[in-house]
């Protein structure tokens, strides 16, 4: 067997050849954006390693696979430049496939995908390619008529988190909420900060009839959170923060300084998947905020994806890192040995695809991406590391946890979990959720007690009201009496003649006297 590697600008080609001629399996990855956790240098080694594992597990099927990768030169996975690059890439792929053997199966691997580049899915449908992504299904791609050959293996899509948040609000009878958006203008993680809350913010807009929401923008790169928190306290006691874990700790510390951590306010932190440079929220980071955050962290609800069993998948992360160093050297912008759930999703996506390709290699439709994608639906795949369960829509089964930190036990308790497929919030065992269910988003007497009066205040209000009513009645009586007197005076003075009657030579007539009498 020969192993070949060819690198060009923005592309890498890695393939094995056991015999002359084009191989039957062709994998191509398209990397959009260049973020540390999801960019080309982070994800391409994962695909390399995953395909080598597939070859070991299914040596006959993967005897001569080809893998090549193409990356964009932009930092973001969206925008007109990325759209144009995606179109060019798919056109090149279309031409390239004409040079391959007729029995070649092409699989398109897409680490991240935004609605801007849905055209990639359209191309793949027309070419009947199998298309899999490490990210979570965006609503744009949920149309199985338009994208019948496209499945998703990530858990980072934020739309279900909006539904989970709405269920938590409804369960606790909270009808108002503040959405605190942190711009993080000087941080490379700014897009992740805004993306985390995109789904929940959009969903809250659809609940305007039952839930009042207010967006407050802050920028933790330039200021602390006190201004935003003060504005929030004037609207609701439920605060959803759109920021990362480190900034969330600062927000809790600022809330403590403002007296907002005595159990009257609830702060909600969203966290979908664990990636480098954004570790899960915790009170301890060995800094000056530790003790303050530790004392108030019980006021925080954390809505996040299921915890990754790192003890089980750690071997995958280690092997991927070794592959990354072999390809790009040790001086990488990717943080070393930090947990990255995204790379696990990519690994599992390739392993599930490899399993399906292997089990259908003798099927008449084995070369149809549409057929292979459908073979993945409504199935649980027992991979050596852990099980992966796919839904009828082509995405992983997801349960979103609602957690609270127990400082005495130094652990996170799950209060509820949201079943995405059933669209239902379910209580966990134990009564940890009782504390939050007793908190009011707006007190019965209003945020400032303005809707309730004390006993002395009620007495004063009653006295003032009675006095005002008496004055009003007296005024009406006096006005009525004055009107009656004036009418009587007009009747008694019938003999008075208006001076105007003498003007114009009309003189005095009985009709004039009669008219004056009735004035």
Answer yes or no: do 138 and 219 share one domain. Answer: no
Answer yes or no: do 83 and 183 share one domain. Answer: no
Answer yes or no: do 248 and 198 share one domain. Answer: yes
Q: Which domain holds residue 142?
A: 2-156+309-390
Answer yes or no: do 298 and 406 share one domain. Answer: yes
Q: Mean pLDDT of residues grouped by 10 in the chain (519 residues)? A: 34 43 72 70 88 93 86 64 75 75 82 77 87 77 85 78 91 93 85 79 89 94 94 94 91 94 91 79 89 92 86 85 81 62 89 94 89 93 89 83 86 86 81 69 68 57 71 78 64 54 52 53
The CA distances from residue 507 to 61, 137, 434, 498, 516, in Å, are 127, 99, 95, 11, 14
Answer yes or no: do 345 and 217 share one domain. Answer: no
Q: Is residue 443 part of a domain?
A: no
Nearest to 153 by CA among 342, 10, 297: 342
Answer yes or no: do 16 and 102 share one domain. Answer: yes
What pLDDT is stored for residue 267 in this prediction?
95
Q: Is residue 385 part of a domain?
A: yes
Answer yes or no: do 146 and 247 share one domain. Answer: no
What pLDDT is stored for residue 8 in this prediction?
34
What pLDDT is stored for residue 5 in this prediction?
34
**How many domains in the chain?**
3
Answer yes or no: do 214 and 300 share one domain. Answer: yes
For 80-147, the DSSP string reads HHHHHHHHHHHHHHHHHHTTS-TT-EEEEEES---GGGTHHHHHHHHTT-EEEESSPPPGGGG-TTT-
Q: Is residue 415 part of a domain?
A: yes
Answer yes or no: do 283 and 323 share one domain. Answer: no
Q: Is residue 446 part of a domain?
A: no
Q: Is residue 408 part of a domain?
A: yes
Answer yes or no: do 142 and 196 share one domain. Answer: no
DSSP letter at 363? S
- The CA-based angle 443-444-448, given to 5 degrees, is 55
Q: Is residue 449 part of a domain?
A: no
Residue 390, classed as helix, strand or coil, is strand
Max CA distance (Å), the chain:
135
Neighbours of 258 (CB within 10 A): 14
Q: Is residue 45 part of a domain?
A: yes
Neighbours of 95 (CB within 10 A): 8
Residue written as tokens 């007197």?
485
Nearest to 27 by CA among 96, 123, 78, 88: 96
What pLDDT is stored for residue 35 in this prediction?
66
């Amino acid at each position: 067997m020969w192993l070949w590697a060819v690198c060009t600008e923005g592309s890498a080609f890695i393939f094995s050849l056991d015999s002359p001629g084009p191989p039957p399996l062709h994998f191509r990855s398209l990397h959009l954006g260049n973020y540390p956790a999801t960019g080309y240098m982070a994800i391409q080694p994962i695909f390399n390693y995953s395909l080598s594992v597939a070859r070991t597990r299914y040596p006959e099927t993967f005897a001569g696979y080809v893998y090549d990768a193409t990356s964009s030169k932009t930092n973001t996975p969206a925008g007109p430049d990325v759209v144009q690059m995606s179109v060019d890439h798919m056109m090149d792929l279309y031409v390239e496939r004409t040079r391959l053997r007729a029995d070649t199966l092409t699989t398109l691997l897409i680490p991240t995908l935004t609605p801007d580049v849905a055209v990639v899915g359209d191309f793949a449908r027309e070419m009947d390619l199998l298309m899999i992504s490490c990210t979570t299904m965006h609503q744009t791609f949920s149309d199985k008529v338009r994208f019948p050959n496209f499945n998703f293996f990530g858990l980072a899509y934020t739309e279900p988190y909006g539904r989970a948040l709405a269920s938590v609000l409804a369960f606790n009878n909270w009808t108002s909420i503040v959405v605190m958006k942190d711009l993080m203008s000087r941080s490379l993680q700014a897009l992740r900060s805004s993306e985390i809350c995109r789904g929940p913010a959009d969903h809250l807009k659809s609940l305007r009839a039952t839930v009042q929401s207010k967006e407050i923008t802050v920028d933790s790169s330039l200021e602390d959170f006190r201004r935003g928190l003060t504005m929030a306290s004037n609207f609701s006691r439920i605060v959803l923060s759109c920021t990362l874990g480190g900034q969330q700790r600062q927000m809790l510390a600022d809330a403590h300084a403002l007296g907002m951590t005595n159990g009257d306010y609830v702060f909600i932190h969203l966290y979908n998947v664990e990636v480098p440079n954004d570790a899960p929220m915790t009170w301890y980071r060995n800094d000056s905020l530790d003790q303050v955050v530790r004392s108030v962290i019980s006021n925080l609800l954390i809505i996040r994806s299921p915890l990754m069993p790192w003890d089980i998948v750690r071997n995958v992360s280690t092997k991927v890192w070794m592959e990354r160093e072999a390809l790009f050297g040790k001086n990488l912008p990717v943080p070393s040995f930090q947990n990255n759930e995204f790379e696990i999703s990519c690994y599992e996506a390739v392993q599930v695809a490899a399993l399906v390709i292997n089990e259908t290699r003798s099927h008449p439709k084995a070369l149809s991406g549409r057929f292979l994608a459908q073979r993945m639906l409504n199935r649980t795949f027992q991979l050596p590391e852990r099980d992966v369960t796919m839904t009828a829509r082509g995405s992983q089964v997801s349960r979103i946890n609602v957690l609270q930190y127990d400082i005495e036990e130094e652990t996170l308790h799950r209060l509820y979990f949201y079943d995405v497929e059933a669209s239902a919030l379910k209580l966990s065992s134990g009564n940890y959720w009782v504390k939050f269910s007793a908190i009011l988003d707006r007190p019965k007497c209003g945020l400032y007690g303005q809707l309730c009066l004390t006993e002395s205040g009620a007495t004063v209000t009653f006295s003032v009201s009675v006095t005002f009513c008496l004055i009003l009645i007296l005024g009406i009586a006096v006005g009525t009496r004055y009107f009656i007197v004036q009418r009587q005076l007009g009747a008694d003075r019938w003999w008075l003649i208006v001076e105007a009657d003498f003007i114009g030579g009309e003189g005095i007539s009985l009709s004039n006297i009669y008219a004056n009498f009735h004035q």
